[in-house]
Structure 1
Amino acid sequence: MSMITPSTRSRGPNKGGARRNENNRIYANPLPIIFNEPPPSRIRSVLNTLGLSLTEVVSPHCEGIFDPITRSVWVTSSKHTMLLWRRGFFGKGDLSRSEPSWLARQINNRRVGGKQMTSEEVTAKRRAERRQFKLDRAAAIAAVAAEAEAIFETEGRVIKPALSGPAIPSAATWRPAPAPVPETPATPTLEEEEEPVELEPIEDIEHLQLTLQEAFFLAWSLDCLTVLDPHTNDAMTLKQIWHAFQIAHLPPTLPPAPSPPLQFDNPFLINYVVYHHYRSLGWVVKGGIKFCVDYLLYKRGPVFTHAEFAMVVCPIYEDSEDQETSSLDLQNSSPFAWSWLSTINRVNSQVQKTLILVYVTIPARSRLSLDILNTPACLQHYSVREVTIRRFIPARMRD
């Protein structure tokens, strides 16, 4: 519920319906691939009876450039960028908080009045209004306290300052003050009366950054992304992508040294197992570094609701000797302190998110050959388990 405006229950069922309907139209497809149903016919009914289907699968083919330094894939085409964002919320704009809206913000800055605000501008406006509401409320409470103190000094009566009432703004009644209108319109000068200078078109310099987990999911599971080699600009094969993404997470080596061998505890494999697991269950998975976690889970996407779950990935070695001999120091692979867990849980409880510890079991080297890491077939040997953590608040959980 917003601190500035009342909840949707008090505003009526039609309030905000236009924006909600627009989001439902724009983000109607949960994935880049589309299933086109043929029109009803006798042939279709017969095929459905036989368990067959005439449904056409339309898979777009987007392109991205692999960047091993940032461990990401850059999608520079604005068409491909909006397609991947609006069909599954993949990636992040490098010049935006989430949605790639840099160009829309620049165009809005050139317009005068009646502009269509982007999601980032709406968030900034709400934060400014919330900050102003707190200042106005604090000033009103201070004024009531000063009035009570003045009555005590002059009349000797003790009055308890009220924290609510007509004089104290509340979240349901407070509205931002309208912008001041000048009393006399400014007289245009000779320079302003001249014809306006035609502005140059704005070049879209923003690109969409896909994590390696998102890029491989799009390339392997959905077959709608082509990854280009950063040196030759040629399309990489699935095997080349699989090896390159794993090597990007390994410690760098000197050029004369051979490429490091693949390992079962490679961070790319562990994080991809978690990403693929929840994406295949219908969740929208986004990065959660803002809340000190690895991933956030959305039911439909960031434009509809806030994330309900915050996940911390905890790798577990099937064989403890593999952890001792490994050259990688995986995060959260060793037992963590209770203070760390309490801190993470408190942060996410404050933003109404449920903390989930996702345990990924790493297969033992003793029972599997390293050659299995050459293909994604190795993913079937990893397992995922979840543990939900809830912060106990005695004052709220007595019932």
Structure 2
Amino acid sequence: MGSLLQPSGRKKPAAGKAAGRRGDNNRIYANPLPLTFLYPLPSSARSVLGLLGLTLAKIDTPQVHGVLDRATRSVWVSDRTESFILWRRGFFGKGDLSRSEPSWLNRQVNARRAAAANRLTAEEVTAKRRAERKQFKLDRARAIAAVAAEAEALFESEGRVVVPALSGPNIPSAATWKPAPREETELPATPNDDTPAVEDEEPFPDDIEHLQLTLPEAFFLLWNLDCLTIEDPDTNHLLSVQKIWTEFQAAYLAPPAFGLSLPIPELQFDNPFLINYIVYHHYRSLGWVVRGGIKFCVDYMLYKRGPVFNHAEFSVVVCPVYEDPEDQAASKVDLHHAKPFSWSWLSTMNRVNTQVFKTLVLAYVTIPARSRLSSEALQSPACLQHYSIREVTVRRFIPARMRD
């Protein structure tokens, strides 16, 4: 099914801003998927073959090893090289100690070097700027409260009505306010020149961070790109595609059992893994970079190229719809957004995403009726052909801007 989504009119950054960084990003994140194409022939020969509709390109498929973690419903990739392959070729997964890119080790190294050079790291600079902004707001609020108290005192003593001013020499502004200087602390005594310097530099720590893939991401890499193998943590054996398909569904139907081989529960057509994977596969197949959207209270965020290039264009909310209402009444799965949500929730969600220049999309996934399909169909990914997706784009109505 084709998508009708079109990029929004977000303003692009200035041409001279961080041009060098963008050039590095174009080089580092040149591949949109882990698969790469190798061309053994020169460009002239490739152009001739292209006119004939032929190609001799070879597909290089990397092999990444992951371990299934049933407690977090995710797949862990511990090898640093393999983690960067998945991140830099499609932005798959996230570091468990990072916000997105697995950069914990780089941050530790930068912090060590910044401390040796007596300078602040980027995270410390950001924290300092936020603290100063918070202090400015507190100082401004105190100044405004003092002016209001003075006006009330004049009214009580002299009967004069004075409107409290919100600006002036006594009220700080963003252009004139400066943070108060910090009190100087007593520095430790420095050794004499005759004392030999002792180097006590600790070695850099080992990388303890792993890349964490969601189950839809892991199955997309496994089933569509064939570049991921998944290991069972209990048996240390590789899982087959058939076993992974049922394991991923069972992860949402039963609590994790460590060290126990419990039977797979009865599979359901409204399994949350199926619903989320269908939407993830749909937009990934259309060329979008799909990331989690919990930051903006949605299910997915859609990027045109990736989070290092630009902001997300669309916010997607997955809305399951039962083909047969009786299946919903008899379902044992508490499916998120299966029940109609209120207009206040929709208005709030739309307002949040509109303020950050994102278009809200409601992706309705139709769940097939159990009356026309057997539960045996869920044993294979072929059951996905019985699901369908409809997209509804929601835009915020602003009367003052939309009168024409």
Q: TM-score scaled to structure 1, two decimals? A: 0.82
Is 1:371 the counterpart of 2:376? The answer is yes
Distance verdict in 2 for CA 1:135–1:8, change over 3 Å: farther
Distance 1:357 1:138 in 2: 40
- Decide whether the 8 Å contact of 1:64 with 1:226 is kept in 2: yes
Amino acid at match of 2:211: L
Pair 1:348 & 2:350 matched: no
Aligned partner of 2:40 among 38, 41, 49: 38
Structure 2, unpaired ranges of 5+ = 1-10, 155-161
Aligned partner of residue 103 in structure 1, secondary structure: helix
Task: Determine if contact 2:229/2:239 at 8 Å carries over to the other structure.
Answer: yes
| 1:320 and 2:331 aligned | no
Residue 103 of structure 1 pairs with residue 105 of structure 2: yes
- Give the superposition deviation at 1:321: 1.4
> AA paired with 2:234?
H
> Secondary structure of 2:242's partner?
helix
Q: Which residue of 2 aligns with 1:274?
A: 279
State the 1:175 CA deviation. 11
Equivalent position amino acid for 2:363 in 1: V
Q: Which SS does the other structure have where 1:312 is aligned?
A: strand
Q: Match for 1:305 among 305, 310, 328?
A: 310
Q: CA deviation at 1:398?
A: 3.0
The aligned residue for residue 64 of structure 2 is: 62
Q: CA deviation at 1:45?
A: 4.9
Distance 1:38 1:349, change over 3 A: same
Following superposition, the deviation at residue 391 of structure 1 comes to 2.1
SS of corresponding position for 2:266: coil
Equivalent residue, structure 1, for 2:292: 287
What is the root-mean-square deviation of aligned Cα atoms in Å?
3.7
Q: 2-side partners of 1:327 and 1:159: how far apart?
A: 62
Q: Mark the runs of 5 or more structure 1 residues left unpaired by the alignment.
A: 1-6
How far apart are the structure 1 equivalents of 2:255 and 2:224? 29
Alignment partners' CA distance in 1, 2:275 and 2:336: 11
Q: How many angstroms apart in 1 are the aligned matches of 2:77 and 2:20? A: 31
Tell me whether 1:381 sits opposite 2:386 in the alignment: yes
- Contact 1:145/1:161 (<8 A) preserved: no
The one-character-per-residue Cα deviations of 1:342-385 (angstroms, maximum 9, x if unpaired) are 22223223323221111000111122222221111111111111
Equivalence map 1:78-227=2 (5 Å): 78-111=80-113, 112-113=116-117, 121=123, 125-126=125-126, 128-129=128-129, 132-133=132-133, 135-136=135-136, 188-190=190-192, 193-227=196-230
Using the alignment, how far apart are the partners of 1:142 and 1:241 within structure 2? 60
8 Å CA contact retained: 2:252, 2:271: yes
Query: What is the SS of the residue equivalent to 2:68?
Result: strand
Give the TM-score of the pair, scaled to structure 2: 0.81
Determine the C-alpha separation between the residues in 2 that align with 1:43 and 1:175.
66
Alignment of 1:215-254 (within 5 A): 215-252=218-255
**What's the % identity of the aligned pairs?**
57
- 3-state SS of 2:22 partner: helix
> Alignment partner of 1:321: what SS?
helix
Question: CA shift at 1:176, angstroms?
Answer: 8.9
Q: CA deviation at 1:164?
A: 9.9
Asked whether the 8 Å contact 2:293–2:299 carries over to 1, the reply is: yes
Question: Deviation at 1:267?
Answer: 0.8
Q: What are the superposed Cα offsets for residues 67-93 of structure 1, whole Å, 9 maximum, x if unpaired? A: 111100000101111111111111111
CA separation in 2, counterparts of 1:227 and 1:246?
Answer: 15
